[in-house]
Amino acid sequence: MYIDSHCHLNHDRLLNLGGAGQVVANANAAEVEGMLTICCRISDEFPEVLRVAQEQKNVWCTIGTHPHEASDPAEKSLTQSEIVRLANSDSKIVGIGESGLDYFYKHSTAEDQQECFRKHIRACIETGLPLIIHARDADDDIIRILREEGSGTNLKGVMHCFSSGRTMGEAALDFGFYISFSGIVTFPKAPELRDFAKDVPLDRLLIETDAPYLAPEPFRGKINEPALVVHTAALLAGLKGVTPEVMAAQTRANFFTLFDKAKLS
């Protein structure tokens, strides 16, 4: 059985597939046992993300501010203590994020993104929950901030939808983080990403869809859903020279090791 370690079950695009309940049913039919649905805006999205997790069996959620939203006044006003309080408010909340830095789109200023990222790191250290990191065109600053805030602490986490370079990946592994691969690793124009994936230890791998985005080959361009995570897992299994069953079992075990608050029902 597989675990989709990162998806957005409350996203409007998934209504075209029947909504969260149908998407979860599709996933279960494809032997995807559980899913982690991700929060990108605490101020208004979080209640819906939590509701989906509460209503669906073996679906857990996070709380966090995406770097695109870091300059939003409502998100900026949230304190570390408020994030900690909300993170501890329900057993279905098993991680903090997605947070990080995205200098590609620049929807928020670099300064606001960095301050938001630091706030989330500190909340993870305080709660003991893992951090889900979004990284795009900001590798050096992410590595620097992780070292400044997290060195010598209990900080743990995952580089979500990994598509950065080897330097970023190796730094994350050195820090004790997991690396999560999405459908991007199946794309024809991602040979360097596949080369790095070969070198990631099996016990540090996670798989995800980032649904409804980034559907893997051969479904690229279509609405992504957790059921399709099996295709990413199959490609990674081939890269690592193991069976899909071994990849499913290992990434499942890795998920519950990192997200140790998540419990199957």
> DSSP readout, 16-42?
GGT-HHHHHHHHHHTTEEEEEE--S-T
The reply to whether 23 falls in a domain is yes
Give the dihedral of Cα atoms 12, 261, 265, 249; nearest 10 deg. Answer: 90
The reply to whether 129 falls in a domain is yes
Please give the pLDDT value at position 91.
Answer: 98
Numbers of helices and strands, H then E, in the chain: 10, 8
The reply to whether 44 falls in a domain is yes
Single pTM value for the model: 0.97
3-state secondary structure of 222: coil
Q: Which amino acid is at 89?
A: S
The reply to whether 85 falls in a domain is yes
Residue 82 is part of a domain; what is its CATH number? 3.20.20.140
User: Which residue ranges of the chain lie beneath pLDDT 70?
Assistant: none
Q: How many domains, in total, are found in the chain?
A: 1
Return the structure tokens found at 104.
Answer: 């590609």
Please give the pLDDT value at position 177.
Answer: 98
Contacting residues for 86 by C-beta, under 8 A, at least 6 apart: 42, 46, 63, 93
Contacting residues for 174 by C-beta, under 8 A, at least 6 apart: none
> Reduced to 3 DSSP states, what percent helix, strand and coil does the chain have, rounded to the nearest 5?
50, 15, 35
The reply to whether 264 falls in a domain is no
Contacting residues for 173 by C-beta, under 8 A, at least 6 apart: 179, 200, 201, 204
Please give the pLDDT value at position 99.
Answer: 98
Q: Determine phi and psi for 162, rounding to 5 degrees.
A: -60, 125
Domain that holds residue 158: 2-258
CB atoms under 10 Å from CB of 194, counted, come to 17
Please give the pLDDT value at position 214.
Answer: 98
The reply to whether 265 falls in a domain is no
Instruction: Select from 94, 138, 88 the least CA-distant residue to 116.
Output: 138
Cα–Cα dist 106/128, whole Å: 30
Please give the pLDDT value at position 98.
Answer: 98
Contacting residues for 247 by C-beta, under 8 A, at least 6 apart: 205, 207, 233, 234, 236, 237, 240
